[in-house]
């Protein structure tokens, strides 16, 4: 199975700052990488699919990039509602797998 490693585990930032989250795959997954945001007590929310495509209704401050094994989610200027846990997921191979998550917390 494809292992996704997210880093850092925790990111402590202030509102208005830029967040850069990493997701590394154990083998090439082309551009078949998805990003979700999850807040406590809520289901995940789809942010980005196919590495760089924003899902419906997702603000432009969220962007994704990468291909092969290395991927990045960037939030250009953090809003208070962006403090949450972020997961990557690959859809290249079965079984689908998720990364362990990056928590973006308020500094």
Partner 1 sequence: QVQLVESGGGVVQPGRSLRLSCAASGFTFNSYDMHWVRQAPGKGLEWVAVIFYDGTNKYYVDSVKGRFTISRDNSKNMLYLQMNSLRAEDTAVYYCAKPRSGGYPEFDYWGQGTLVTVSS
Helix (H, G, I), strand (E, B) or coil at 81: helix
Q: Counting contacts by CB under 8 A, is residue 1 touching partner 1?
A: yes
Stretch that binds partner 1, among 15-23, 40-48, 59-67, 68-76 (CB under 8 A): 40-48
Report the nearest approach of partner 1 to the CB of residue 100 (Å): 5
From 23, 49, 71, 82, residue interacting with partner 1 (rule: CB under 8 A): 49
Report the nearest approach of partner 1 to the CB of residue 54 (Å): 12
Q: What's the rounded Cα separation, in Å, for the pair 2 and 29?
A: 9
The tokens for 31 are 């551009």
Listing DSSP states for 30-73 in one string gives: TT-EEEEEE-TTS--EEEEETTTEEPTT--TTEEEEEETTEEEE
Place of tokens 């007590």: 41
Window 62-101: contact mask with partner 1 (x via CB under 8 A): -------------------------x-x-x--xxxxxxxx
Neighbours of 43 (CB within 10 A): 7
Report the nearest approach of partner 1 to the CB of residue 40 (Å): 10
Residues that bind partner 1 (CB under 8 A): 1, 34, 36, 38, 43-44, 46, 49-50, 55-56, 87, 89, 91, 94-101
């Amino acid at each position: 199975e494809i292992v996704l490693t997210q880093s850092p585990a925790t990111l402590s930032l202030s509102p208005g700052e830029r967040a850069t989250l990493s997701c590394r795959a154990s083998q090439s997954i082309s551009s078949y990488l998805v990003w979700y945001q999850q807040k406590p007590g809520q289901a995940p929310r789809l942010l980005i699919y196919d590495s760089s495509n924003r899902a419906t209704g997702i603000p432009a401050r969220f962007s994704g990039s990468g291909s092969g094994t290395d991927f990045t989610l960037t939030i250009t200027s953090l809003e208070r509602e962006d403090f949450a846990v972020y997961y990557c997921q690959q859809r290249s191979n079965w079984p689908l797998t998720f990364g362990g998550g990056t928590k973006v917390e308020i500094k």
